[in-house]
Amino acid sequence: MNVELPARPKPESTINRPVIADCDIHPCLARPADILPYLPKRWQEHAMTYGMLPRHGYQSGPAYPKGQPDAARLDSWPPDGRPGSDLSFMQAQHLDANRVELGIMTVIAPAAGAAQNLDYSAALARALNEWQVAEWTSKDTRLKASIVVPYEDAAAAAVEIDHWAGHDAFVQVLLLSRTAEPLGQRRYWPIYEAAQRAGLPIGVHAFGYGGYPVTAGGWPSYYIEEMVGHSQCCQALLTSMVIEGVFERFPGTRMVLIEAGLAWLPSLCWRLDKHWSRLRDETPHLRRAPSNYIRDHVWLTTQPMEEPEKRKHFHDIVEWIGIDRLLFATDYPHWDFDDPLWAVPVKLDDGARQALFLDNAKALYGRR
C-alpha cells in the first residue's frame, strides 16, 4: 500500500546520520539489453531468442506479482531506467544521503545462477560480474561487488570464483537461496572450497527459483506468503549446511544470510541442537552441536528487520545471536527498505551500534 505522506518542512539533515555500511544494495540493469555488450555473441543470441527459461511459468517478471513495480520504492525510479540502475541517482538518494561508507552490492536480477541452461548461466554470471566492475565499482569506491556464480554447476561456479579471487572489487560470493537442492549437499561443495581458497564469504540472498514449491506444503497463493516464507526457506538451507557438515569440511567458510530476517535464528539453533542430540548417530561427521557451527560461521543482514510487538524483546534476539554476527542492510532500492535512522526497534549502546552499522561489515568484508 502506498500512502502519500505530507511533505516534510525541510529535508532531513545528514549531519546526525552516522556513517554506515549497507550490506545489501541492488544495482540493476536499466534495460535487460544492457547486459548484451558483456556477453559473447553466441550468448547474446541465446539471450534474445530463448532467454532465462526460469523454473517457473513466466518469461519475464516474477511468479508472484510484487507489491509494487519492480518491488521498488516509488521514489527510487531514476529519470531514465529502472530503480537501482543509475549510479548518480543512487549516490544522491542513498549513498550520500545515508552516509554509506561501504556498500555491498548484490545483483539478484537477472538471476544468472538460476538459468536452466548451465552454459548460459555461466556466461551471464561472467557478464554481470564484468558489468559490476565497469559500471559500478570502478566509478564509486564505496561500492563493493559480490561474485555472481552459476551455482547449479558448482565446477563452473568455482571457475568464476577463481577468476575474480584477489580482485579488489569483489568481497563475497553470491548465491540465491532457493536452489535446485539443499545448499549443504555435496554437489555444491566445490563452491565452498573455492570461496575458502579465495578467502571470501558466501552470501546467500533470498529469492531465486529452484523449481520446487516455495513451501514444503506446496505452492502458496500470495506474494506475502512468498515473502514471509523466505525465512523458512533460509532456515532449511542453513539446516542443510550444518547437518551435511559443510562447516566441518570447509572450516574457512563464512556464510552471510541476506534479506531473510534474523530473529528466527535462536529458535532454529535450539531445535537443531535438541534433535541433533537425539539423532546424532545419523551424523557422525558432526563433531560439535549445530549451534556451535552457526555461531562460528554464520552472519545475518538485518533487513527486513523483525519488529517485535514489544520493542524490548529485540534485545533478547540480539543477545541470543550476538551483535557481532549482525550486519546492517537497507535493501535499497526495494520497497521494504530499512532506514538506518529508524529501522532498529530499540536503542542500542554505542558499541553495539558501531558494530552493527559499520565495524562488523568492515571486519567481515575487509581484506585478510
User: Side-chain half-sphere of 62: how many Cα atoms within 13 Å?
Assistant: 17
CB of 12 to other proteins, least distance (A): 22
CB of 189 to other proteins, least distance (A): 13
- Which of 268, 213, 211, 215 is closest to 242 using CA atoms? 268
User: How far, CA to CA in Å, does 365 sit from each of 144, 269, 352?
Assistant: 9, 25, 18
CB of 113 to other proteins, least distance (A): 13
Peptide bond before residue 304 is cis, with ω within 30 degrees of 0:
yes
Report whether 111 contacts 151 (CB < 8 A): no
Listed in sequence order, the residues at least 6 apart from 96 whose beta carbon sits closer than 8 Å to its beta carbon are: 14
CB of 183 to other proteins, least distance (A): 7
Interface with other proteins by CB under 8 A: which range of 33-41, 104-112, 118-126, 313-321? 313-321
> Is residue 263 involved in binding other proteins (CB under 8 A)?
yes
> Is residue 301 involved in binding other proteins (CB under 8 A)?
no
In 3-state terms, the chain is what percent helix, strand and coil (to 5)?
45, 10, 45
Peptide bond before residue 110 is cis, with ω within 30 degrees of 0:
yes
CA distance 43 to 357: 40
Interface with other proteins by CB under 8 A: which range of 161-169, 223-231, 248-256, 350-358? 223-231
- Exposed e or buried b per residue across 39-57, where buried means at least 16 C-beta atoms within 10 angstroms of its C-beta: beeebbebbeeeebebbee
> Is residue 295 involved in binding other proteins (CB under 8 A)?
no
Select 127 or 286, whichever has its Cβ closest to other proteins.
286
Interface with other proteins by CB under 8 A: which range of 39-47, 132-140, 216-224, 293-301? 216-224
> Is residue 222 involved in binding other proteins (CB under 8 A)?
yes
CB of 300 to other proteins, least distance (A): 12
Q: Which of 140, 193, 248, 306 binds other proteins (CB under 8 A)?
A: 306
Q: Residues in contact with other proteins, total (CB under 8 A)? A: 69
For 164, the enclosing helix (H) or strand (E) is helix 154-164
Select 90 or 237, whichever has its Cβ closest to other proteins.
237
- Exposed e or buried b per residue across 244-281, where buried means at least 16 C-beta atoms within 10 angstroms of its C-beta: bbbbbebebbbbbbbbbbbbbbbebbeebeeebeeeee
Tell me how many degrees the CA angle 87-91-97 measures, rounded to the nearest 5. Answer: 160
CA distance 333 to 75: 9
Select 88 or 267, whichever has its Cβ closest to other proteins.
267
> Is residue 266 involved in binding other proteins (CB under 8 A)?
yes
> Is residue 229 involved in binding other proteins (CB under 8 A)?
yes
Q: Which of 214, 294, 298, 318 binds other proteins (CB under 8 A)?
A: 214
Q: Which of 185, 196, 292, 354 binds other proteins (CB under 8 A)?
A: 185
Per CB under 8 A, residues contacting other proteins are 1, 67, 177-185, 210, 212-225, 227-229, 231-233, 235-237, 239-240, 243-244, 261, 263-264, 266-268, 270-276, 278-279, 281-283, 304, 306-310, 313, 316-317, 320, 335-336
